[in-house]
Amino acid sequence: AALARQAAAAVGASHRLQVLRGQDLPPGWAGKVWAQSQGVAAAGDVPWLWFTDADIQHGETVLRRLVAKAEGEQRVLVSLMVELSCQSFWERLLIPAFVFFFQKLYPFAWVNDARHRLAGAAGGCMLLRRDALERAGGLARMRAALIDDCTLAGLLKPMGAIWLGLTHDSRSLRAYSRLDEIWSMVARSAYVQLEQKPSRLLLAVTGMTLLYLWPLLALLYGVLTQVWWLWLPAAVALLLAWRMYVPMLRFYSLPWWWGASLFPAAWLYTLMTVDSGRRHYLGRGGAWKGRHYS
């Protein structure tokens, strides 16, 4: 809190910043949603609410452009997937794949289509209409949500059109130098994403195996045994997956040949998802800030 006030004073904006002391967490609330709720209450009667994370650095015009887009297109929620840190080896291996798989779960074109039921958002940057939130029942309706951003998007989309995009203008300052840091980040909520259902976990593992492991095995076996009808479809499947990954490689300024990293990254994310289920049944699921929300 002191650092926040010092930063505001350094740029002459102390009068524009209010730092709140958080109240104790009530039963049945997730910590982040409770913090957001306190912020909404303190904001008073304002037309717009902007949720952002402490480790995000925004460009100077980002907020202005978000408001212009929301007002110009009559959207109740506009959100940006910010540029994540992609410097270390583990970040280059896993972070572009993380965004790639997020886009497969939440295709932006479907999210942005008011006629489609799918809703998604990125918690690092979300601008929303206060009146739409109130009409939806407020944050109390999602008080236990562990994936707060997509839950909020699902709450607001029936109130009006939403929009989700990708940007270089806002970026995360949080670095992941080790595998275990990314592993913990994913394993915390992956099983929640699957609604904590063993059947969905099995389906997810089967799907990832068929898409990213089986083609490699079929290619190797087909080449070794010279069975063209085995290795040829496998090669086509791998090339298609590689081609789909190229735009994300470009976004993170990685060379085209780095697309081969998608396949080991997919295996690691599959293992993280399985571990997320394991943690849930051991009573250690949904860990955040020292609390477990299973």
Q: pLDDT of 208-237, one tens digit each?
A: 999 999 999 999 999 999 999 999 999 999
pLDDT at 287 over 80: no
Asked if residue 294 has pLDDT above 70, the reply is: no
**Encoded tokens for 157:** 């989309």
Greatest C-alpha distance within the chain: 73
pLDDT digits (tens, 9 = 90+) for 229-268: 999 999 999 999 999 999 999 999 999 999 999 999 999 9
pLDDT-derived band at 292 (thresholds 50, 70, 90) equals: confident
Say how far apart CA 213 and CA 215 lie, in whole Å. Answer: 6
Q: Which residues contact 23 (CB under 8 A, 6 or more apart)?
A: 34, 38
pLDDT at residue number 290: 73
Q: Which domains does the chain have, with CATH numbers?
A: 24-177 (3.90.550.10), 198-281 (no CATH)
CB contact at 8 A, 50 and 127: yes
| 152's tokens | 């909020």
Instruction: Tell me what pLDDT residue 54 has.
Output: 87
pLDDT at 128: 98
Residues of 201-236 as b/e, b for ≥16 C-beta within 10 angstroms?
beebbeebeebbeebeebbeebeeeeeeebbeebbe
pLDDT at position 34 is 96
Give the pTM: 0.92
Can you give the pLDDT at residue 285?
83
Q: Do 100 and 108 touch, CB atoms closer than 8 A?
A: no
Give per-residue pLDDT as tens, 23-60. Answer: 999 999 999 999 999 999 999 899 999 999 989 999 99
Alpha carbons within 13 A on the beta-carbon side of 181: 12
Section 59-67 average pLDDT: 97
